[in-house]
């Protein structure tokens, strides 16, 4: 190898590395825009069945059907805000006159009640709980600032919602033109396969996200019933938040159960721990675990296996591997990404034995 070839190779490597670094910083700088695009794409895939419904059932034009779909999205957002804002205002009024010392006193009282209960039942953990000092672990002064931070974030949330809906409108309205422009970037001999893959991915992911909404809706209703039965305040909002947490496979339901238990205990402060707080919390946890048993063994296998044409064990292994490789975010995206890869593999490598086995039900 000559000195000139060596220097050219070195320069090429430097330029490639510089390009990778520049691309990384560029993508980091526009991460919010990328999130808007991804969210808009998900809303587009969810809205496709609604778009077809309005066009076929009511004979709407494409533009009118798109507006109708966006109207449904906006109505849902407004409804959620109408549900959440009164709760925030109520808690804000409480925070305005909040006495931090009273909160610490209530938490210490709850701890003392727990110690008494453990001692009465001769449970060894009583000594360890008694040593716990909430003031050393939790800075209760953060609570009055919580509302201010939340209100400060509302402006960014509003911008995100507006931008996402704007992008979604054009994704739904001009989907054919966008797909055509993408195909023009593909070599001519691969355009047909690419078009088939894109169409199959759109159909499959639309089914998946609609199935996900159905599954979350079922969990939300069951959570709400459990909370109402045991008289937990703000049951609707708590059930909604806990249902949204179920988007995170396996970990989300655990977080939802812990959150529901904590909110139940805090809402019953001042009552007798052994006869009121503890039994109610245990009943809530049992109710949530029953909901999870129903969801894990009935809802999810039936809904997701049909929407993705994958075996439940296959989905479980994919999510598990994704968790080890990329944590929570990759677990959330694991099923749609795996579905996309299966569709692409089936289209481009139809004669591969391994691909045939994985895609035999597609």
Question: For the segment 284-298, what is each residue's pLDDT rounded down to a tens digit?
Answer: 999 999 998 888 777
Can you give the residue range of the structural domain that contains 344?
A: 201-362
Is it the case that residue 135 has pLDDT exceeding 70? no
Q: Is residue 343 part of a domain?
A: yes
What lies within 8 Å, CB to CB, of 294 at 6+ separation is 222
Domain-embedded: residue 156: no
- The reply to whether 50 falls in a domain is no
Nearest to 303 by CA among 335, 257, 337: 335
In a domain, 256, yes or no: yes
pLDDT at 97 over 50: no
The pLDDT score that the predictor gives to residue 95 is 47
More confident position, 305 or 201: 201
What mean pLDDT do residues 296-307 have? 70
The string over 194-208, giving b where at least 16 C-beta atoms fall within 10 Å of a residue's C-beta and e elsewhere, is bbebbebbbebbbbb
Q: Indicate if the pLDDT at residue 124 is higher than 80.
A: no
Q: Is residue 171 part of a domain?
A: no
306 inside domain: yes
**Between residues 182 and 78, which one has the greater pLDDT?**
78
For 7-64, write each residue's pLDDT tens digit.
777 778 888 888 888 888 887 788 778 888 888 888 888 888 889 889 998 889 999 9
Residue 152 lies in a domain: no
pLDDT of 317 above 80: yes
Q: Please, which residues have CB within 8 angstroms of residue 49's CB and are 6 or more apart in sequence?
A: 206, 210
Q: Find where tokens 């009055």 sit.
A: 144
CA quadruple 21, 24, 25, 26: dihedral positive or negative? positive
Q: What is the pLDDT of residue 131?
A: 52
Please indicate, yes or no, if residue 39 is contained in any of the structural domains. Answer: no
Q: Is the pTM of this model over 0.75?
A: no
Q: How many helices (H) and strands (E) does the chain have?
A: 15, 0
Dump pLDDT digits (tens) for 153-181: 555 777 888 889 999 999 988 877 877 77
In the chain, % of residues over pLDDT 90: 12
Q: How many domains does the chain have?
A: 1
pLDDT score of 86 more than 60:
yes
| Between residues 5 and 317, the one the model is more confident about | 317
CB 137 within 8 A of CB 104: no
Q: What is the mean pLDDT of residues 96-100?
A: 48
What average pLDDT does range 243-264 have in this prediction?
86
The residue among 95 and 200 whose pLDDT is bigger is 200
On the question of pLDDT at 148 being above 60, the answer is: no
């Amino acid at each position: 190898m000559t000195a000139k070839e060596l220097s050219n190779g070195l320069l090429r490597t430097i330029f490639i590395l510089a390009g990778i670094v520049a691309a990384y910083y560029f993508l980091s700088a526009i991460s919010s825009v990328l999130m808007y695009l991804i969210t808009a794409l998900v809303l587009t895939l969810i809205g496709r069945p609604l778009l077809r419904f309005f066009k076929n059932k009511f004979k709407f034009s494409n533009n009118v059907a798109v507006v109708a779909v966006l109207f449904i999205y906006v109505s849902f957002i407004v409804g959620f805000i109408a549900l959440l804002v009164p709760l925030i205002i109520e808690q804000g009024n409480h925070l305005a006159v909040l006495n931090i010392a009273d909160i610490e006193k209530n938490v210490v009282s709850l701890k003392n009640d727990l110690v008494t209960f453990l001692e009465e039942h001769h449970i060894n953990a009583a000594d360890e709980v008694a040593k716990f000092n909430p003031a050393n672990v939790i800075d209760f002064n953060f609570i009055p600032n919580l509302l201010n931070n939340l209100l400060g974030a509302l402006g960014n949330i509003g911008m995100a919602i507006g931008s996402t809906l704007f992008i979604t409108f054009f994704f739904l309205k001009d989907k054919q033109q966008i797909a055509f422009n993408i195909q023009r970037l593909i070599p001519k001999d691969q355009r047909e396969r690419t078009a088939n893959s894109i169409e199959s991915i759109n159909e499959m992911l639309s089914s998946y996200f609609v199935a996900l909404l159905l599954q979350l809706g079922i969990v939300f209703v069951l959570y709400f019933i459990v909370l109402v039965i045991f008289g937990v305040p703000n049951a609707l909002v708590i059930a909604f938040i806990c249902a949204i947490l179920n988007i995170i496979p396996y970990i989300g339901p655990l977080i939802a159960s812990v959150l529901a238990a904590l909110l139940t205990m805090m809402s019953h402060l001042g009552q007798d721990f052994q006869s009121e707080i503890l039994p109610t919390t245990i009943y809530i946890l049992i109710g949530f675990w029953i909901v999870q048993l129903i969801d894990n063994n009935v809802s999810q296998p039936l809904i997701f296996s049909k929407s993705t044409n994958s075996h439940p064990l296959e989905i479980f292994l994919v999510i598990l591997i994704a968790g080890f490789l990329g944590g929570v975010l990759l677990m959330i995206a694991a099923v749609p990404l795996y579905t996309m890869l299966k569709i692409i593999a089936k289209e481009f490598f139809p004669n591969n034995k391994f691909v045939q086995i994985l895609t035999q039900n597609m």
